[in-house]
Amino acid sequence: MIHQISGRNVNETFHEALWKLKVDGHIENSRNGRVITLTQPALICNTQPMERVMFCPERKENPFFHFMECLWMMAGSNEADWIAEFNPRMAQYADGGTGQFHGAYGYRWRHHFSVDQVLETTALLKADPTTRRAVIDMWSPKDDLGTNAADIPCNTQIYFRVVEGRLSMTVLNRSNDLVWGALGSNIVHFSFLQELIAHGAGLQVGTLWQFTNNLHVYERHWKFVEQPPRCSSYRQQGVSPTPIISTKLSGWLRDCEKFIAKPEETSSLADPFFATVAYPILHSWKYKDPKYLELCAAKDWGLACTRYLERLRAAEHTGLA
């Protein structure tokens, strides 16, 4: 039996997945401590994956990290220093000698296998929307099987399928923490990838499926299973998703590489997404000032980032930062 969890977006599926674990989960030991897990695989379906920002006060996620991790991935980077600026905990998973991540998804998408899988997959789908051979790999038996690296890909392959002009995407996963993984960072960066490839292939964005062989929640987050929080909808928040690309995909990727390499330089980036969304978010993080978010065209990200900064200020005021 496969456990199926369906919803419009991450705000619905997060709640439903926690209830699934509350009803059907059981406690197991893992190398990182006790977990509540399902004994069968799980399939999570998000029908509107572009609605990728979570509005759940209890979750207290860091939207700056989620957003910048997407750009770091799409630039094909595996360097720890840049992304650790937004989440210092990330550095502990990098190779201490190289300062690089062994299994960084973006690097594997664009460089590791000596082919840019993002551009090649997009070209394949554009040439033949009926193809069933559009696959992106993240798992490398040569590099991953039996290795003791701290950063081994949890997500292993991605399949694409065009249905009625919409690009659906299925992500295969060997083991996934629901809170920080599947419906934390993963739903954001995989929906970014899906939207970019759909745009490049001249398609609309379809459903995002996430199949995991082991869906679990670590003990530090069992409170969410005990009392699953209900997140707000995009409609309740009065926001809607903003497209992340309007120019040619290859150009957008070059812009992204420049953004990561020299984030202080803005004039050479062609896609308006960087000037109207990425830079306001970056400057707001750098100066910890929400005034820059007033310039952010993506109101969902702007709202989530503003609330995160408000939480930081409140914590500093009470001495809990």
Q: Which residue of the set 154, 231, 256, 305 is catalytic?
A: 154
Give Cβ neighbours of residue 47 (< 8 Å, ≥ 6 apart).
Answer: 6, 7, 8, 9, 207
Token pair belonging to 180: 């920080």
Residue 127: other Cβ atoms inside 10 A: 9
The whole-angstrom separation of Cα 12 and Cα 46 is 9
DSSP state of 227: S
Distances (CA, A) of 248 to 113, 235, 302: 23, 30, 25
Could you tell me which residues are beta bridge partners of residue 4? 43
Distance CA 271, CA 14 (A): 32
State whether residue 318 is helix, strand or coil: helix
Contacts of 107 by beta carbon, 8 Å cutoff, 6+ apart: 76, 77, 78, 101
Q: How many of the other CB atoms lie within 10 Å of CB of 80?
A: 21
Element at 42 (helix H, strand E): strand 42-46
Is 70 tagged catalytic? Answer: no
For the annotated catalytic residues, the residue numbers are 154
